[in-house]
Amino acid sequence: MRAIFYTQPGGPDVLQLGDRPTPEPGPGEVRVRLAFSGVNPTDWKSRSTAQPGPGGQIPNQDGSGTVDAVGEGVDPVLLGERVWIWEAAWQRPYGTAAEYTVVPARQTVLFGAAPSFELGASLGIPFLTAHRCLTLAESLPDRLGPGTLNGRTVLVQGGAGAVGNAAIQLARWSDATVITTVSGPDKAQLAARAGADHVIDYKQQDVVAEVRKIAPHGVDAIVEVNAPVNAAIDAQVIALHGAVAMYADDGGPEVTVPVRSQMALNARWQFVLVYTEPRRAKEIAVEDVNGAVLDGQVRVGWDAGLPLHVFPLAETAKAHQAVQDGIVGKVLIDVTA
C-alpha cells in the first residue's frame, strides 16, 4: 500500500512516501480502506518529538473510509460499512496517512451513507476534545444532546479554530447559549457560521464586560485554547460551579490562576487531553458526537465556519506544515488522490 511514514522524529521533511506492507487485522481489529486523513496539532507535535518504533510510524490519528477486512471476534457485518476513526496512531504504528489502517473495532464509528468522508475525517480529536470541555463542570451533565444545555451559557475562547468550531456546534446542538471570542472580522464570520450566538473581537472589545452583559452571573463552561493569556479573563467570567477546560498551550507552558476568587466559586480548572482521558468519558463522547452527526447537526466547510484545506497523500508534509503554521480551518489528506 502507499503510505506516509517516518523513521526518526523531526520536521515535516522526515515524512516519506513509499510502499508499506498492507496490514492485516488481528483479533478484535478491523482494517479500513481510507478515503481521508485528518491532521491535528498533536500529529505534527508527535512527529517532531516522539521516537517511532523500529518499523517506522505512519502518522495521523483521525480518518474516514470503508471497512474492508475484520479480525477474529469481529462481526463480519461491518464489512463495507462507512466509518470514521479516532486515535488510530495512539501507541500504534498504523496512522491514517495511508491507503489502509488497522485499529481496534471500537475505534471505528459507523456514520451512515449521508455524511461525507470529509466530515468523518474532521471529527475525531477536535470533536472529542470539545465534548470533554463542555461536560467537565459539576453543574453540567456528562452527556450532550438536544436540550441538555438548555439555559446554560458557554464561552469558547478562539471560536475559529477546529476545536472551537466543534465546541460551538456541539453546544448549539445541546441548546446552550454560545459566546465566542475571535481576533478579527474574518474569524468572526467563521464563528457566526458555526452557530455562535454572540461573537466578541477580543482585540477591539472588553471581553469581561461583553460577557457579563450577556451572562450577568457568569458562564457555565469555558473552552480554553490559550489559558496562559486568558486566565485572568476566565476567572472573572466563570460562574458558580463552572469549569475552565484547558486543551492547548498556545500562550505558553504555564498558567496562573487567582486562588481565592476561584475557591469562592468552587470553580474547576482542568487540563484536557483526549488520549489519556477516562475511558468511559471518551466512550460517551464518541456516542454523542456520532449522535450529532446522525442528527445532521455537524457540518464542515466554509458555510460551517470550518474551511477545508485538502492535500494529496504525496503532500502530507505540506499538510503538516500548514497545521503547524496555524492555518485557519481543517486540514485533510485525500488518500485516494
Q: What are phi and psi of 136, to 5 degrees?
A: -85, -30
In the block, cell 475525531 appears at 124
- What pLDDT score was predicted for residue 313? 98
- What pLDDT score was predicted for residue 139? 94
For the chain, the straight-line distance linking the first and the last C-alpha, in angstroms and rounded, comes to 14
- What pLDDT score was predicted for residue 250? 84
* Cβ atoms of 313 and 105 closer than 8 Å: no
Cα 67 from Cα 124, distance rounded (Å): 17
- What pLDDT score was predicted for residue 251? 84
Q: Which cell is 298 given? A: 455537524
Cα 293 from Cα 41, distance rounded (Å): 23
- What pLDDT score was predicted for residue 337? 87
**Domains of the chain, each with CATH number or no CATH:** 2-122+306-334 (3.90.180.10), 126-275 (3.40.50.720)
- Residue 94, strand partner residues: 58
Tell me which residue of 250, 179, 182, 163 sits closest to 213, measured CA to CA.
179
Q: What's the whole-model pTM score?
A: 0.97
Tell me which residue of 45, 72, 84, 89 sits closest to 323, measured CA to CA.
45
Q: Pick out the chain residues at pLDDT < 50.
A: none
Q: What is the pLDDT of residues 21-65, one digit of tens each?
A: 999 999 999 999 999 999 999 999 999 999 998 989 999 999 999
CA distances from 117 to 62, 112, 182, 330 (A): 11, 10, 28, 13
- What pLDDT score was predicted for residue 20? 96
Q: Which cell is 22 given? A: 498492507
Cα 329 from Cα 306, distance rounded (Å): 5
Residue 258 has a CB neighbour count (10 Å cut-off) of: 12
